[in-house]
Amino acid sequence: MVNAIEIEELTKYYGKVKAVDSLSLTIRDREIFGLLGPNGAGKTTTILTIATVLKPTSGTVFVYGYDVTKQPDKVRKIIGVSFQEPKALHVDKVIEILTWHGRACGLSGQELKGRVKEVMDRLGLWEHKDKLFMELSGGFKKRVEVAKLLIQKPKIAIFDEPTAQIDVIGRHEIWRAIRELREGGSTLMIATNNMNEAEVLCDRVAIIHKGKLVTVGSPNELKDKIPGGDVVEIIVDKPLVKDVVDELTLTVKASSARYMNNKLILYLDKGEAAIPRIIEKLGEHNYYTRQVRMKEPTLDDVFFYFTGVRLLEGGS
Ligand SMILES: Nc1ncnc2c1ncn2[C@@H]1O[C@H](COP(=O)(O)OP(=O)(O)OP(=O)(O)O)[C@@H](O)[C@H]1O
Ligand SMILES: [Mg+2]
């Protein structure tokens, strides 16, 4: 079986800015694949290159065997993109935008009408059907953008931040709809900076940072890449220093440690047994422990483990 998307050493510059840096990835047929990374990581640039909107500076991308640079028309026939920024004429009505989109995708008659109505109902758009695009709130504009791909059902559906600005109920409905697209035979690629979305929705996730691939695998495989099963987070009363952190790491045999200001994160086995020892050791160095938390690793921890920065807001 030929892979859905093969990205080989993709590099993209905007002037002097290197937005994507030698990125290689394989997206399998009928997979829900996530591109997870913070703002500016290069997700949209990668997606737009796959979709033939942008040209690679170097490297190649194959979509079901078609080269995006040499056979863009073939690629455009099987791919659909739901853009990060909703795209529509401001003076068009919601129902017109979606009906036109369905028609442009080759739907007609009852099938067109039926599918547009079904998707609009599902995304809570039907009651806004006669509103002008510019009259919609940000979240509803985004729903219109997502609805386009749900109507189109392309062989490869690419969603750039499908649930940004969308409320919890809408988010779950969109995730369900995306899974159904896959059941219908589509391959899905999802760009997101939301680790929860990547974790619950995607079969495999590529974490990218500053245009480079950090790591790739299923959410569970990624978590298993952090040595030590537990993550212990400690907040103390003053900024930590390297010597103390190094000594602590040795004392409790942590497989690794990260610290920033007053916060320390240790990756280790049997966290619960180590916690008293950690607090004691910190005390010996005149650190007062204000907070201790232990948890299973999340994709945010995976990101932090590999990059030293947090994906989550306020998580630094
Ligand atoms: N049209 C452009 N011209 C110049 N630089 C750009 C352009 N588009 C993106 N960039 C730069 O390329 C880098 C990657 O941007 P990109 O939009 O691909 O990131 P992203 O991962 O999608 O981020 P976000 O989560 O904010 O959507 C950033 O440094 C950005 O400033
Ligand atoms: Mg983006």
The total number of residues shown for the chain amounts to 316
| Average of per-residue pLDDT across 129-152 | 95
Where do the CATH 3.30.70.2470 domains begin and end in the chain? Answer: 227-296
**CB-based pocket (< 6 A), ligand 1:** 14, 17, 19, 37, 39-45, 84, 193
Answer whether residue 315 shows pLDDT above 50.
Answer: no
Ligand 2 centroid from CA 178, angstroms: 19
pLDDT at 313: 53
Ligand minimally distant from the alpha carbon of residue 208: 1
Sign, CA dihedral 123-124-127-130, equals: negative
**pLDDT higher than threshold 90 for residue 310:** no
d(C-alpha 10, C-alpha 57), whole Å: 8
Position 311, amino acid:
L
Return the residue matching tokens 């993709």.
10
Which residue, by CA, sits nearest to atom 5 of ligand 1? 14
Query: What mean pLDDT comes out for the span 70-74?
Result: 96
pLDDT band at residue 236 under the 50/70/90 scheme: very high
Q: To which H or E segment does residue 48 belong?
A: helix 43-50
* Ranges for all domains in the chain classified under CATH 3.40.50.300: 5-223
| pLDDT at res. 276 | 94
CATH code of 227-296, in short, is 3.30.70.2470
Percent of the chain with pLDDT over 70: 98
| pLDDT range class, residue 1, cuts 50, 70, 90 | confident
How many CB atoms are closer than 10 A to CB 105?
16
- Whole-angstrom CA distances from 196 to 47, 77, 163, 193, 284 are 20, 31, 11, 9, 38
Mean pLDDT calculated for residue range 221-247: 91
Mean pLDDT value across residues 23-31: 98
CATH code: domain 5-223 is 3.40.50.300
* Percentage of residues in the chain having pLDDT higher than 90: 84
Q: What's the pTM?
A: 0.87
pLDDT at 299 over 60: yes
Residue with the smallest CA separation from ligand 1 atom 26 is 39
